[in-house]
Amino acid sequence: MRHDIKLKYFKTRLEQRLKEITAEQQRRKDGTAPVELDQARIGRLSRMDAMQQQAMAKAAARLTDLEKQRIQSALLRIRADEYGYCVICEEEIAQGRLQFDPSVLLCISCAEEREAG
């Protein structure tokens, strides 16, 4: 267990963001409804615009789902006394990196290595 970071602070931030995401997902449900193809009711450009908005909403939902998974994983690592350690090399993740993104999984070295490779 790391003693140099305030686990309660990070846990609170993660739980708050998880609540925000859950509320956001409830609001977005309308944006992913199927696009109606009745040409008598809407024109071609309106239909194309609706389909584009739907695709953007689905992409945003996928990113939100990934963030939610990272947060849930971070909360599990807190409970297991493994929070703040890189999941690859098991070295400590810098506190500044955790401040920026409390759900981060990798230390800066492993993140850079993963991006390069």
* pLDDT 10s digits, 87-111: 999 999 999 999 999 999 999 999 9
Whole-prediction pTM = 0.76
Give the pLDDT confidence score for residue 116 in this predicted structure: 92
| Mean of pLDDT values over 15-42 | 74
Closest listed residue to residue 5, CA positions, set 87, 94, 88:
94
- For residues 44 and 107, which has the higher predicted lDDT (pLDDT)? 107
- Mean predicted confidence (pLDDT) in 39-44: 60
Please report the pLDDT score of residue 38 as a whole number. Answer: 56
Give the residues across from 85 on adjacent strands. 92
pLDDT at 60 > cutoff 90: no
What pLDDT score does 18 carry? 97
Q: Is 13:52 a contact under the CB 8 Å cutoff?
A: no
